[in-house]
């Protein structure tokens, strides 16, 4: 896995154009995937939510709009991405009384044990330098019975893979260069997607960390999946 410092620097370079690039490269599907994630979290009506690898904050904003009782804490280790989130908060994207953003590395979260009802993380886990360490941190901060929601790229349906990887390898880098001026960041995106485990193997990793009630739902021919996993309630 790439070092955290390289990941942080890369996101720092694309921060200003990150939102636009996301919408363009996913053909707008990112908005639908976000809605599906928020709907799942809202079913549990959590109060204390940590949105990890929050980036420019869209998951945090959507959570606070949908769940009126939620206090949402967005954390990321890349200051330029957080600046985008804070700028959007100042522009009215969310209620400053219920959302805050702060610097935090998912491999050593600045949050107490058992303090969070629900963790969300969208397109973040794939970038962890040490995935098991990051997943353990998520488990640590959740209260017993709390739930993690992980939205991540996964391996799509078999028949769809040739089309998908053709798009990723031959079309996406050029579009990314036009949208962001930075082709390198999106070469990394393709490589990191190809490396990420499929849904079943990722579920195994979650189980090894100690999560229970693990489930996953693929979206759009399983280009992405929402993984849901619970910290066991205290017995």
Q: Which residues bind ligand SAM (CB under 6 A)?
A: 4, 7-8, 11, 53-55, 58-59, 76-78, 81, 105-107, 122-124, 127-128
The CB-of-66 to ligand SAM minimum distance in angstroms stands at 15
**Nearer to ligand SAM by C-beta: 145 or 218?**
218
The CB-of-178 to ligand SAM minimum distance in angstroms stands at 19
Which residue number is nearest to ligand SAM in terms of Cβ?
A: 55
DSSP, collapsed to helix, strand or coil, labels residue 78 as: coil
What's the CA dihedral at 149, 108, 49, 201 to 10 degrees? 10
The CB-of-22 to ligand SAM minimum distance in angstroms stands at 6
**Nearer to ligand SAM by C-beta: 124 or 146?**
124
Alpha-carbon distance of 8 to 156, in angstroms, equals: 27
**Nearer to ligand SAM by C-beta: 76 or 117?**
76
Alpha-carbon distance of 180 to 199, in angstroms, equals: 30
Reading the block at residue 221, the tokens are 């021919």
SS (H, E, C) 93-137: CCCCCCEEEEECECCECCCCCCCEEEEEEECCHHHCCCHHHHHHH
**Nearer to ligand SAM by C-beta: 145 or 175?**
175
The CB-of-11 to ligand SAM minimum distance in angstroms stands at 4
Reading the block at residue 92, the tokens are 């009215």
């Amino acid at each position: 896995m790439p070092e955290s410092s390289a990941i942080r620097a890369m996101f720092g370079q694309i921060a200003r154009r990150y939102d636009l690039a996301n919408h363009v490269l996913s053909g707008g599907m990112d908005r639908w995937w976000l809605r599906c994630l928020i709907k799942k979290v809202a079913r549990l009506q959590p109060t204390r939510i940590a949105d990890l690898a929050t980036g420019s904050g869209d998951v945090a904003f959507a959570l606070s709009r949908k769940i009126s009782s939620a206090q949402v804490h967005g954390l990321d280790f890349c200051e330029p991405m957080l600046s985008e989130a804070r700028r959007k908060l100042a522009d009215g994207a969310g209620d400053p009384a219920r959302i805050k953003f702060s610097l935090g590395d998912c491999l050593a979260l600045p949050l107490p044990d058992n303090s969070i009802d629900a963790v969300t993380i969208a397109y973040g886990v794939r970038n962890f330098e040490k995935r098991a360490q990051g997943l353990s941190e998520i488990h640590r901060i959740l209260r017993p019975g709390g739930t993690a929601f992980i939205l991540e790229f996964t391996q799509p349906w078999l028949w769809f893979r040739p089309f998908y990887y053709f798009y990723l390898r031959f079309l996406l880098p050029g579009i990314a260069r036009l949208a962001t001026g930075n082709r390198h960041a999106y070469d990394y995106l393709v490589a990191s997607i190809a490396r990420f485990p499929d849904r079943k193997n990722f579920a195994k990793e979650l189980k090894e960390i100690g999560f229970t009630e693990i489930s996953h739902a693929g979206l759009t021919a399983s280009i992405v999946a929402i993984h849901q996993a619970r910290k066991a309630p205290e017995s």
